[in-house]
């Protein structure tokens, strides 16, 4: 693994507590109907797996693969779909689960794609948001934390595929 300096921005305990709060709000907001969570690969997989276990109501989940970063720290601005949703979404309440919203380009692209499946409703749950960086209007119904414009890793988030397994979210210098 490459050597970088890491500083904890959000601890494992802070993340755990926030995921529980978000799950409780989702339980309250969707008392019935089929709720489908769509995790955006690969960064959201740990957030999604903690979230589905904290939510008390029945859920289904699938993944969509999107890549805009390659091996660097800056978005390329174009979104490649690396895996499509396979689960039928027509008539379902859909929650798109993102690790982090930066420019909002990925989210905008994915929401347009999901709408083609004719779901009953679509909302976004994002663990992290960098509001200073938005280039598109984004509506995040369930947000974990707003963070400054810094590059972060851990809890699913990588730098060139490293650091995804860290339990905390850390600033990478
Ligand atoms: P956007 O399209 O909003 O600019 O970028 C969203 C995607 O960029 C996220 O799903 C994530 O993969 C990546 N990303 C944005 N900021 C960061 C960051 O600070 N750390 C990491 N590891 N990925 C980021």
Could you give the CA distance from residue 71 to residue 161 in angstroms, rounded to a whole number?
A: 8
Show pLDDT as tens, one digit a residue, over the chain (173 residues): 557 899 999 999 999 999 999 999 999 999 999 999 999 999 999 999 999 999 999 999 999 999 875 555 666 668 889 999 999 999 999 999 999 999 999 999 999 999 999 999 999 999 999 999 999 899 999 999 999 999 999 999 999 999 999 999 999 98
Strand boundaries in 90-164, DSSP class E: 93-101, 121-129, 142-146, 152-153
Q: How far apart are CA 63 and CA 84, in angstroms?
A: 7
Per-residue model confidence (pLDDT) at position 1: 55
pLDDT at residue 3, rounded to an integer:
74
Supply the DSSP symbol for 47. Answer: H
The tokens 């979404």 sit on which residue?
89
User: Mind listing the pLDDT tens digit for each residue in 44-92?
Assistant: 999 999 999 999 999 999 999 998 755 556 666 688 899 999 999 999 9
pTM attached to this predicted model: 0.94
Cβ neighbours, 10 Å, residue 86: 9
Using a 6 Å cutoff on CB, does residue 99 contact ligand 1? Answer: yes
Quote the Cα angle for 169-155-173, to 5°: 40
102 is catalytic: yes
Taking the centre of ligand 1 as the mean of its atom positions, its distance from the CA of residue 25, in whole angstroms, is 25
CA of 28 to the centre of ligand 1 (A): 29
| 104 closest CA partner among 59, 67, 135, 129 | 135
Distance CA 106, CA 121 (A): 19
pLDDT of residue 68: 76
Query: What residue's CA is closest to ligand 1, atom 12?
Result: 43
- Cα dihedral sign for 101, 103, 104, 106? negative
**Angle 45-54/12-29 helices, nearest 10 degrees?**
60
Query: What is the pLDDT at residue 11?
Result: 98
Cβ-based neighbour number of residue 31 at 10 Å? 7
Ligand 1 pocket mutation pick from 2, 39, 43, 79 by most atoms within 8 angstroms of CB? 43
* Å from CA of 26 to ligand 1 middle: 24
Q: Of residues 102, 129, 158, 168, which has the active-site annotation?
A: 102
Report the chain's terminal Cα–Cα distance, integer Å.
15
Q: For 106, how many CA atoms within 13 A lie in the half-sphere containing its CB?
A: 28
Of ligand 1's atoms, which has the minimum distance to the CA of residue 147?
19
């Amino acid at each position: 693994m490459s050597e970088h300096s890491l500083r904890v921005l959000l601890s494992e305990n802070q993340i755990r507590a926030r995921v529980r709060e978000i799950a409780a709000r989702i339980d309250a907001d969707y008392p019935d109907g089929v709720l489908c969570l769509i995790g955006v690969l690969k960064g959201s997989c740990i957030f999604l797996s903690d979230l589905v276990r904290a939510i008390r109501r029945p859920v289904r989940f699938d993944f969509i693969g999107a890549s805009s970063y390659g091996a660097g720290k800056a978005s390329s601005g174009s979104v490649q779909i690396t895996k499509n949703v396979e689960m039928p979404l027509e008539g379902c309440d859909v929650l798109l689960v993102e690790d982090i919203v930066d420019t909002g380009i990925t989210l905008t692209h994915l929401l347009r794609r999901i709408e083609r499946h004719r779901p009953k409703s679509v909302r976004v749950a994002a663990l992290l948001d960098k509001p200073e960086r938005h280039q598109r209007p984004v509506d995040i119904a369930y947000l974990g934390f707003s963070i400054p414009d810094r590059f972060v890793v851990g809890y699913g988030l990588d730098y060139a595929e490293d650091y995804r397994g860290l339990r905390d979210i850390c600033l990478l210098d």
